[in-house]
């Protein structure tokens, strides 16, 4: 595959002035973040809003989320009177039921799978400013599109029609597509997802959607939250040209939220090894390098292993001039940008742009993108990653980050990994490893003690060594 320099010039330069622009996600979308502060995801905004957006995409339904109950009540009442020919007294009784069932302290109470798509992007909270609400809405939209990109094109959402008259009337009055069926809707933001994540996401989503309605409503947020963090944790280390294997998950040590962790704990050490601070500080640079390479190769090629597979079909000598030209252009133009800014400067000296192999080209291009990264992106991009993970999976313990599972997430993941089937404990831990989750001996002891407390752990026989676990949602 030949490198097309014109694609770089078109997507990374201002069309009027011709000057270099710090774009990314022009060749491939991998992370659901932007390099500017116009979107945010953190504990204050939560992630539940992404669930509603996800189901609206899935059901191909342009229905509005229930953010204003008075507006919703007016729409429902009008439908009941005009379309279903109810008298006003009957319609008012239905509205009273609507308030009792679906409104708790002024916010939406989801009681049925059919109502998931009505969850608003941002929780109703007077303490959240309008400016921040816009940021949270933008952040939730990106996460929803990120999750939606994990679904297979042929994934069919099972018919969620309810036999409950109240539920069906409400769906008919609010939805443009009440059946909730149809082909997968395309979105403007399609993300590239690692194949092994996409495969398990579709398996796990299909499994959860086969559970009873109350279980789906209770646990769908956990599944979507888990996968948004899981996919990001797996994508981050693979942004570097040094990471070649994208066929299996990177392994992270986790602990239970109730556990203590010393500075030498496996969970502390592996975080530092896989995602050290200096690497997280260069997320934008790593992402931009990968993005530009995808762009000049036609777009959406993938991570470096995918790029190698494609570009190496063309002998290096045929791409050598273009490789060196891309290095020269990027270095020259990016240094010029820094020369126009009194508050910022490049962090690396000028490098030679001669290269003799694709590997040398990748290494030098990544060095340039990371070394010539604007300092303002360092804290900005790292914060977006940390904010999302810290909502549930990441904690700062005495200055060290550690990945954690709380009790609710632990039990849900066990149910998901075992698919509600009685499973040997040793096999359960192997399935956790298949998702990149590893526990050391201390964490296993804590897990087994907790499962024993919940009466979820048993032995095959009184004298048997094998222990089994079974969790039913």
- Tens of pLDDT, residue by residue over 333-355, are 999 988 887 666 667 889 999 99
Calculate mean pLDDT across residues 176-205.
Answer: 80
User: Is 212 part of any domain?
Assistant: yes
Residue 37 included in any domain: no
pLDDT at 463: 53
Looking at residue 470, what is its pLDDT?
87
Q: What is the pLDDT of residue 235?
A: 97
Q: Which tokens is 334 given?
A: 């990016």
Q: How many CB atoms lie within 10 A of CB 108?
A: 21
- Of 66 and 327, which is predicted with more confidence? 327
Q: Cα-atom radius of gyration of the chain, to the nearest Å?
A: 25
The tens digit of pLDDT for each residue in 201-210 reads 999 999 999 9
- pLDDT band of 68, cuts 50, 70, 90: confident
For residue 410, what are the contacts with CB-CB under 8 A and spacing of at least 6?
A: 256, 447, 450
Is 55 part of any domain? yes
Q: Please classify residue 265 by burial: count the beta carbons closer than 10 Å to its beta carbon, then call 0-12 exposed, 13-18 middle and 19+ buried.
A: buried
Last residue of a domain, one of 380, 402, 437: 380
- How far apart (Å, rounded) are the C-alpha atoms in residues 123 and 128? 9
User: What is the structure's pLDDT at 424?
Assistant: 94
Confidence bin at 103 (pLDDT 50/70/90) = confident
Q: Evaluate if residue 160 carries a pLDDT over 60.
A: no
* Burial letters 249-260, b for 16+ CB under 10 A, else e: bbebbbbbbebe
The residue-averaged pLDDT of 40-63 equals 86
Instruction: Say how many C-beta atoms besides its own lie within 10 A of residue 463's C-beta.
Output: 6
Report the mean per-residue pLDDT for the chain: 90
Angle subtended at Cα 226 by Cα 30 and Cα 268, rounded to the nearest 5 degrees: 90
Is 130 part of a structural domain of the chain?
Answer: yes
One domain, residues 97 and 161 = yes
Check residues 322 and 43 and name the one with the higher pLDDT: 322
Whether residue 393 contacts residue 403, with contact meaning beta carbons closer than 8 Å, is answered with yes
Domain end (from 323, 345, 380): 380
- Does the pLDDT of residue 182 top 60, yes or no? no
Please give the DSSP secondary-structure letter assigned to residue 243: -
The residue segments making up the domain with residue 109 are 48-238
Same domain, 70 and 167: yes
Cα end-to-end span (Å), the chain: 49
> How do strand 394-397 and strand 400-405 relate by DSSP bridges?
antiparallel
Claim to verify: residue 375 and residue 434 sit in the same structural domain: no
Q: Which residues contact 349 (CB under 8 A, 6 or more apart)?
A: none
Note whether 422 and 405 are same-domain residues: yes
Q: What percent of the chain has pLDDT over 70?
A: 93
Q: Is 292 left (phi over 0), alpha (psi -120 to 50) or beta?
A: alpha
Does residue 113 carry a pLDDT above 90? no
Whether residue 209 is found in the same domain as residue 97: yes
The rounded percent of the chain whose pLDDT value lies above 90 is 66
Grade residue 153 by pLDDT with cuts at 50, 70 and 90.
confident
Distances from the Cα of 95 to the Cα of 9, 75, 87, angstroms: 58, 10, 13
Q: Please name the helix (run of DSSP H) or strand (run of DSSP E) that holds residue 109, with its range, or none.
A: none
| Domain assignment present for 83 | yes
Q: Which of 53, 50, 55, 30 is nearest to 40 (CA)?
A: 50
The tally of domains found in the chain comes to 3
Nearest to 320 by CA among 354, 364, 369, 368: 354
The better pLDDT of the pair 446, 179 is held by 446
Q: Are residues 177 and 295 in the same domain?
A: no
Residue 299: CB partners within 8 Å, gap ≥ 6? 27, 28
pLDDT band at 114 (very low <50, low <70, confident <90, very high): confident
- Compute the Cα dihedral for 282, 286, 287, 292 and give only its sign: positive
Does 385 reside within a domain?
A: no
CB 10 within 8 A of CB 188: no
Please indicate, yes or no, whether residues 343 and 404 belong to a single structural domain of this protein: no
Q: Are 331 and 351 in contact (CB under 8 A)?
A: yes
Same domain, 306 and 337: yes
**Does 43 reside within a domain?**
no
Phi first, then psi, for residue 96 (nearest 5°) are: -65, -40
**Nearest-CA neighbor of 140 among 391, 413, 437, 403?**
391
Tell which of 340, 358, 380 closes a domain: 380
**What DSSP designation does 23 have?**
-
* Closest-CA residue to 46 (of 275, 230, 222): 222
> 19 with 163, same domain?
no
Query: Which of 50-54, 218-222, 323-327, 456-460 has the weakest average pLDDT?
Result: 456-460
356 and 412 assigned to the same domain: no
- The strand pairing partners of 400, in sequence order, are 397
User: Residue 215: is its pLDDT beyond 80?
Assistant: yes
Residues 184, 73 within the same domain: yes
Instruction: Give Cβ neighbours of residue 428 (< 8 Å, ≥ 6 apart).
Output: 414, 417, 418, 469
Contact present, 204 and 243 (Cβ < 8 Å): no
In-domain check, residue 245: no
By CB atoms closer than 10 A (0-12, 13-18, 19+), residue 289 is: buried
222, 257: one domain: no
Average pLDDT over residues 446-473: 83
- C-alpha–C-alpha distance, residues 354 and 144, integer Å: 43
Per-residue pLDDT band at 1 (split at 50, 70, 90): confident
CB 289 within 8 A of CB 306: no
Interior/surface letters 437-454, b for 16+ CB within 10 angstroms, e for the rest: bbbeebbeebbeebbeee
């Amino acid at each position: 595959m030949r490198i097309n320099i014109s694609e770089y010039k078109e997507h990374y330069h201002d069309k009027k002035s011709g000057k270099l622009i710090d774009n990314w996600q022009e060749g491939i979308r991998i992370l659901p973040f932007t390099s500017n502060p116009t979107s945010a995801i953190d504990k204050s905004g939560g992630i539940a809003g992404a669930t509603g957006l996800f189901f609206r995409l899935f059901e191909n339904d342009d229905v509005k989320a229930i953010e204003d109950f008075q507006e919703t009540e007016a729409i429902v009442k009008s439908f009941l009177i005009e379309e279903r020919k109810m008298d006003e007294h009957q319609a008012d009784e239905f509205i009273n039921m609507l308030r009792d069932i679906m409104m708790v302290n002024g916010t939406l109470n989801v009681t049925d799978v059919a109502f998931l798509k009505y969850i608003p992007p941002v929780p109703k909270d007077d303490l959240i400013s309008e400016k921040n609400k816009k940021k949270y809405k933008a952040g939730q939209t990106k996460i929803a599109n990120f999750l939606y990109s994990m679904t297979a094109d042929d994934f069919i959402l099972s018919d969620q029609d309810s036999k409950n008259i109240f539920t069906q009337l409400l769906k008919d009055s609010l939805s443009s597509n009440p059946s909730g069926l149809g082909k997968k809707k395309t979105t403007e933001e399609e993300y590239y997802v690692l194949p092994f994540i996409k495969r398990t996401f579709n398996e796990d989503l299909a499994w959860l959607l086969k559970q009873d309605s109350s279980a789906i409503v209770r646990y769908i947020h956990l599944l979507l939250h888990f996968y948004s963090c899981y996919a990001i944790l797996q994508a981050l280390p693979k942004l570097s040209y040094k990471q070649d294997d994208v066929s299996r998950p990177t392994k992270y040590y986790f602990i239970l939220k109730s556990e203590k962790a010393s500075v030498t704990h496996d969970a502390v050490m592996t975080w530092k090894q896989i995602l050290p601070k200096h690497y997280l500080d260069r997320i934008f640079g790593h992402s931009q390098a990968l993005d530009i390479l995808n762009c000049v190769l036609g777009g959406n090629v993938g991570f470096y292993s995918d790029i190698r597979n494609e570009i190496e079909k063309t002998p290096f000598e045929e791409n050598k001039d273009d490789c060196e030209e891309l290095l020269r252009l990027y270095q020259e133009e990016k240094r010029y940008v820094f020369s126009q800014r009194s508050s910022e400067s490049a962090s690396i000296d000028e490098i030679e742009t001669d290269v003799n192999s694709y590997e040398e080209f990748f290494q030098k291009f990544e060095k340039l993108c990371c070394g010539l990264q604007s300092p303002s992106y360092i804290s900005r991009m790292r914060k977006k990653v940390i904010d999302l993970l810290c909502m549930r999976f990441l904690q700062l313990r005495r200055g060290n980050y550690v990945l954690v599972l709380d009790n609710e997430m632990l039990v849900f993941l066990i149910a998901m990994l075992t698919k509600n089937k009685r499973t040997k404990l040793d096999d359960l831990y192997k399935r956790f490893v298949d998702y990149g989750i590893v526990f050391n001996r201390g964490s296993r002891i804590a897990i087994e003690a907790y499962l024993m407390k919940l009466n979820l752990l048993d032995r095959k026989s009184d004298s048997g060594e094998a222990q089994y676990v079974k969790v039913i949602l």
